Structure 1
């Protein structure tokens, strides 16, 4: 495993996304399976785990917290979580963006995770108008001054939102959708983020599994899997599911990507493409099984893809992939 700098802290360039561990919107993942996934990740050199307070309404955070109490590791493990989208017990928009409610949600995540301080807390794709208004950033700065969080960042859906956040003093990170189905973002703000020492965390790196190359037109998903109920953006931003590409079109495009890639496992090659961008701090593929973790972490040890492969993948993106992206980006 190779490591990159997150505001001076060395984090593994392959992190672990844990939306799946919430046992909601991906099907059920038992506590035993969750612990096996987390242990495999740590055993393979990983030290950066990303979660959110709404993944199973605290289920993912609590599983991670329980794991942290029992894990033995020769390195520190850094946990990032997210807030802003809870709707339970009278929460919701816009009350979630007040200082008092934000602090409540930070404290809830700390309790779930069994920590005294969060390494990173992030806004979880909140409305663009809240980012433009700016009060929420002051609230995070105050919570940071109080010692409850070490860093704060923002998970965004669009390049416009990324640029708004990059103007904020003290921004620690941006979490973005970036993969072979979203290549152009590297042109939009990566250099600016590097100049400001803002970490880039890449989510949806395998386009909800589509870029693993293991799906075909006959693949189906369970009723409680977002790849079923949000395939066309019925529940939330379609970009969070298959990166906004219509499923059957995505299957077709992946076959064209395979023809350009060198020999190897498609999931690892798709992750390697992301890691070839030096401005990226860490990529956070999720997993529902231990074997997925072992494959994903292996991307760190692959040689970079050649310049010719990168150019051919970009030409395919510009001509055939980007015109098919749906949703906000």
Structure 2
């Protein structure tokens, strides 16, 4: 397992993190708590020490499950807990952005309680709020850090301009953005910023909602409120384009490395930037087995270019992850 210091203060984490949005159930067709706990507790067996969650994932459910799993498994000294703030909800149908200082401070205390810990290793602003000065949000985060409630500060889905303004008040340790072979929108803006500022990149959606797992097929159906029912990538004719790319990527991975497309997709994220971490969503322990196949090999620049050419050749009508963005308050 490759590791990374998250803030130059010996806060070390694995370069693959367990993403727990699906574990919260909301927008993923429900959850199985006992199975989720087993999944979280099995993560360190594969070297996965970073666990990423958020209050909005199941409206507290994901954090509760993570906290219970870590407590029951006596894992707190083995894992890095990352969560988020700056979203609020008045029902399970309406989620809006709220990055006010009051909201951020309250959410931190709520997360500490649900996670059953006295300190959050990484707290991230989930989405920028156009109704709140980013400096106000940064002040709240700095206050939490200075009070010892959090160890590292992150921002998620921020633009370079927003990160620059935020950094005038509080240093950013981690930027979390969507990044995978099918969603490379940050290449031209966020990536140059994190490189210039030596900031860690936490790539969410590294397998693009399972598209890059190699287990999708044209007739796949998704239950209940699964967000993929509304994801343009999973609607024809786009779905066929993405599946065709996955098929050729599987062949490329097998012929050149003896690997699968899933291994290739994660390795591609990690090799794009030495200070990157890929989030790996899993709800069952066996879904983490493939983590072991990511280590011990790399993709050079030529291979990464060939991989991107395969994607661009098949996906002629690409679409980003914009459908997931929650609205600002009116």
Q: What TM-score range do you get, normalising by the shorter chain?
A: 0.7 to 0.9
1:120 deviates by: 1.1
| 1:193–1:218 distance in 2 versus 1, CA, 3 Å | same
Please show how residues 129-168 of structure 1 align to structure 2 within 5 Å. Answer: 129-130=130-131, 133-156=134-157, 161-168=159-166
Matches of 1:323 and 1:34, distance apart in 2: 35
Matches of 1:166 and 1:52, distance apart in 2: 24
| 1:92–1:252 distance in 2 versus 1, CA, 3 Å | closer
Q: Partner of 2:179 in structure 1?
A: 178
Please state whether the residue corresponding to 1:247 is helix, strand or coil.
Answer: helix
1:72 deviates by: 4.1
| 1:56–1:211 distance in 2 versus 1, CA, 3 Å | same
- Is 2:248 the counterpart of 1:256? yes
Q: Partner of 1:199 in structure 2?
A: 200
| 1:257–1:166 distance in 2 versus 1, CA, 3 Å | farther
CA contact (8 A) 2:155 2:174 kept: yes
1:49 deviates by: 0.4
Please state whether the residue corresponding to 1:211 is helix, strand or coil.
Answer: helix
1:280 deviates by: 3.6
| 1:303–1:74 distance in 2 versus 1, CA, 3 Å | farther
CA contact (8 A) 1:272 1:299 kept: no
Q: Partner of 1:237 in structure 2?
A: none
CA contact (8 A) 1:18 1:60 kept: yes
CA contact (8 A) 1:51 1:80 kept: yes
After superposing the two structures, state which structure 1 stretch, 271-280 or 43-52, moved more. Answer: 271-280
Q: Partner of 2:55 in structure 1?
A: 53
CA contact (8 A) 1:17 1:285 kept: yes
TM-score (structure 1 length as normaliser): 0.85
Please state whether the residue corresponding to 1:224 is helix, strand or coil.
Answer: coil
Please state whether the residue corresponding to 1:218 is helix, strand or coil.
Answer: coil
- Is 2:277 the counterpart of 1:282? yes
Please state whether the residue corresponding to 1:285 is helix, strand or coil.
Answer: strand
Please show how residues 312-323 of structure 1 align to structure 2 within 5 Å. Answer: 312-318=306-312, 320-321=314-315, 323=317
Matches of 1:11 and 1:53, distance apart in 2: 21
1:182 deviates by: 2.4
1:67 deviates by: 1.3
TM-score (structure 2 length as normaliser): 0.85
Please state whether the residue corresponding to 1:168 is helix, strand or coil.
Answer: helix
- Is 2:215 the counterpart of 1:214? yes
CA contact (8 A) 2:212 2:265 kept: yes
| 1:251–1:3 distance in 2 versus 1, CA, 3 Å | same
Q: Partner of 1:5 in structure 2?
A: 5
CA contact (8 A) 1:14 1:300 kept: no
1:76 deviates by: 3.1
CA contact (8 A) 1:190 1:279 kept: no
1:74 deviates by: 9.6
| 1:199–1:86 distance in 2 versus 1, CA, 3 Å | same
Unaligned runs of 5+ in 2: 324-330
1:191 deviates by: 4.4
1:48 deviates by: 0.6
RMSD: 2.8
Please state whether the residue corresponding to 1:7 is helix, strand or coil.
Answer: coil
